[in-house]
Amino acid sequence: MSTGKIVLKEFQLDQEPGSPVTSKKKKNKDKNPEEKYAGCKIEIINMDDRDLEIDFIGFHISLVNAYRRIVLAEVATMAIEKVYMYNNTSIVQDEVLAHRLGLVPLKVDPRFFEFRNKDETEWGAQDSVKYELKVKCSKKPGAAPDETDPDNLYVNRKVLSSSLKWEPLGNQTDIFQEANMQPLHQDILLAKMNSGHEIILEAYAVKGIGSDHAKFQPGLSWYRLLPEIELTREVEGEQAVLLQKCFSPGVIEIDTTPEGKKVAKVADARNDACSRNVFQYDSIKDSVKLTRKPDHVIFYIESHSALKSFEILEESVNIMIGKCDTLLAEIDKHTDTEAEK
């Protein structure tokens, strides 16, 4: 853990000495895990299917960063990997269209599938999902003679992700519902066509991880340290209004005193975006002290896959546990070998 709060100054970052976490580091060394992490907390601030905001309090930032890296690189999802192009007379090149198909997020739950063997030549129900796309653009019957808008002039002018149709492999119809095998979003534009253009293709989705290709990433993950803002003097009048404009909405509020003065106060420092705009103004830059707490990490996950935001975190924790078990097993193996000698 770092040695103290991080202080944001006009042209540099400083660090205050004497963090409560580090001052107890040596004392905690001989304690059991329950005593050692007694002051650590996890607070869920916001959680729904798409977004997760969670606070790690008292934990080392490297642990939070490990979860972030696992989310981006090792939590598996399903994505289109192979495309067989039978006909494509649109202006979109085959390889560009195949690349766009690979980036379409799918509703398919990866936990029901196995990783595909690279030497495998057949597409199996246990490791693959098949899609077909057959679209032909033609002139719309009854279109006005003076119509110039292509969207009103042609049928299937836009090829959307909703055009991908699931074709079950093996016994997949007994396990999955069609609604759960579609693209996550139905309105992703894949190509535009004119009258007479046609696209016919087959696409196969497989299970993969983000370290192989970014299309397999289940979502976004990032973190930031908890901001703290301290007013070092009273800020009133026009300076209070200017100070409020220097921060994100909701960070600084202005109260009116019984005497009619407008006085600034810190309402919610958590919303601060770390802009440091206040240092642009000589009249108010000495009125605030901006810091970040290194032992309070705000962690975010935004899902854009079949996995919900909290399921992504759960998968990353399970992967971390697996890594720890592997390490402990290797240590035990080495210890046993040394003991036999």
Q: What is the pLDDT of residue 280?
A: 93
The dihedrals phi and psi of 109, each to the nearest 5 degrees, come to -80, 115
Q: Where in the chain is the domain with CATH 2.170.120.12?
A: 77-216
Q: What is the pLDDT of residue 260?
A: 86
* Mean pLDDT within 161-176: 95
* Mean pLDDT within 294-306: 95
Quick: pLDDT tens for 307-339. 999 999 999 999 999 999 999 999 998 888 777
Look at residues 52, 42, 45 and name the one whose alpha carbon lies nearest to residue 309. Answer: 52
* Mean pLDDT within 99-118: 95
Q: String of b and e for 264-293 (b: at least 16 CB within 10 Å)?
A: bebbebbebeeebebbeeeebbebbebbbb
Percent pLDDT > 90 in the chain is 77
**Residue 54 in this model has a pLDDT that exceeds 50:** yes
Record the tokens describing residue 1, joined without a space: 């853990």
Q: What is the pLDDT of residue 290?
A: 94
Q: What is the pLDDT of residue 316?
A: 97
Residues 252/244, Cβ–Cβ less than 8 Å = yes
Look at residues 311, 297, 325 and name the one whose alpha carbon lies nearest to residue 48. Answer: 311
Q: Helix (H, G, I), strand (E, B), or coil: what is residue 259?
A: coil
Question: Dihedral, CA atoms, 89, 95, 100, 105, nearest 10 degrees?
Answer: 120
At the second CATH level, the architecture of 6-74+220-232+287-301 is 2-Layer Sandwich (3.30)
Over the chain, what is the mean pLDDT? 91
Percent pLDDT > 70 in the chain is 93
What is the Cα–Cα distance from 61 to 226, expressed in whole angstroms?
A: 12
> β-pairing, 198-208 with 77-88?
antiparallel
Q: What is the distance in angstroms between the CA of the first residue and the CA of the last residue of the chain? A: 38
Q: What is the pLDDT of residue 22?
A: 44
Question: Which spans in 24-145 are helix H?
Answer: 25-28, 33-36, 61-73, 94-102
Burial (0-12, 13-18, 19+ Cβ within 10 Å), 17: exposed
Q: Helix (H, G, I), strand (E, B), or coil: what is residue 159?
A: strand
Residues 58/24, Cβ–Cβ less than 8 Å = no
Quick: pLDDT tens for 66-99. 999 999 999 999 999 999 999 999 999 999 999 9
Q: What is the pTM of this model?
A: 0.85
What is the Cα–Cα distance from 75 to 319, expressed in whole angstroms?
A: 8
Full 3-state SS string of 113-139 = CCCCCCCCCCCCCCCCEEEEEEEECEE
Quick: pLDDT tens for 12-49. 988 888 654 444 455 555 566 666 677 789 999 999 99
Quick: pLDDT tens for 189-217. 999 999 999 999 999 999 999 999 999 99
At the second CATH level, the architecture of 77-216 is Beta Complex (2.170)
Q: What is the pLDDT of residue 2?
A: 46
Distances in whole angstroms, Cα of residue 52 to Cα of each of 45, 74, 223, 230, 310: 8, 18, 11, 28, 7
* Mean pLDDT within 146-160: 90
**Residue 121 in this model has a pLDDT that exceeds 90:** no
Q: What is the pLDDT of residue 133?
A: 97
The dihedrals phi and psi of 160, each to the nearest 5 degrees, come to -105, 170
Q: Where in the chain is the domain with CATH 3.30.1360.10?
A: 6-74+220-232+287-301
Q: What is the pLDDT of residue 194?
A: 92
